[in-house]
Amino acid sequence: MKLTKLPFALFSTLTLAAGLSACGSIESAAQDDCTSIGWQIGSKGYQDCYKARLYERKLDYSLPPGDKPSPSLI
């Protein structure tokens, strides 16, 4: 593999991994967020991080008040 194709292959791999990880739950995403920055599962800092990220993700995926869901284009 040429050196110029290495960044493209790395980008493709990371994009695929990110796309597949999107199939997980909100809880697992919050856990991944906290462990990826170095918190150890079970520590107080991890618990605080997990609760905060879980709350933020639930807000991100919830509909605004009064908004109705629309059909998917997929």
What tens-digit pLDDT sequence spans the chain (74 residues)? 555 555 656 555 655 555 555 557 889 999 999 999 999 998 999 999 999 999 998 888 887 777 776 777 76
* 47, part of any domain: yes
pTM of model > 0.75: no
The tally of domains found in the chain comes to: 1
- Helix, strand, coil percent content, the chain, rounded in steps of 5: 60, 0, 40
Instruction: For residue 50, give the nearest of 35, 36, 30, 32 by alpha carbon.
Output: 30
* 29, part of any domain: yes
* 14, part of any domain: no
* 41, part of any domain: yes
Domain enclosing residue 46, as ranges: 25-62
* 20, part of any domain: no
